[in-house]
């Protein structure tokens, strides 16, 4: 009789131990899942040729957004080298829906402070600055985004990439 009680107690203890291990594993997954970085729904960058970004050469983006119930924030990002000659990057951003301009934004993205220190983050000789443009964009509302360089020069050198981010 004593052996049966020990065997039953051992099985009960094993089941409890298994349940506790399962609970700990589930708790770890919940904790790790909540630590994930914010999900970005659409990111796309356009490479600028080494000869520079021509004023007459706009960049075209076609965002693909799946969640029609969600509203998105549109940000623009610029990657530049340390040889970039200006403290800002001026651009015009056309948000187009159904072949009509829905909204036109003029952007003056500040890339350096008054002392000439780059404001972005980056590795080595490249920096990136990101700035939000507008909020409340719904899937299908903006079908195309066109970005024009807007400085008083025909060719803008040392901008390496321009991108849009919708999250």
In this structure, the strands spanning 53-54 and 159-166 are unpaired
- pTM over the 0.85 mark: no
Give tens-digit pLDDT for 72-99. Answer: 999 999 999 999 999 999 999 999 998 7
Report yes or no: 137 and 128 within 8 Å, Cβ to Cβ: no
């Amino acid at each position: 009789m004593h052996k049966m009680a020990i065997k039953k107690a051992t099985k009960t203890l094993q089941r409890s131990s298994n349940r506790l291990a399962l609970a700990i594993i589930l708790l770890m997954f919940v904790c790790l899942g909540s630590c994930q970085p914010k999900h970005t729904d659409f990111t796309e960058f356009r490479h600028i040729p080494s000869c520079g970004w021509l004023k007459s050469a706009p960049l075209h983006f076609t965002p693909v957004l799946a969640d029609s119930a969600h509203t998105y924030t549109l940000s623009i990002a610029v990657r530049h080298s340390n040889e970039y000659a200006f403290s800002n990057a001026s651009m015009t951003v056309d948000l187009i829906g159904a072949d009509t301009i829905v909204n036109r934004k003029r952007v003056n993205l500040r890339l350096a402070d008054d002392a000439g220190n780059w404001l972005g983050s980056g590795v080595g000789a490249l920096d990136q600055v990101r700035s939000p443009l507008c909020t409340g964009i719904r899937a299908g509302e903006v079908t195309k985004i066109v970005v024009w360089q807007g400085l008083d020069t025909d060719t803008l050198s040392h901008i390496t990439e321009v991108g849009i981010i919708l999250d």
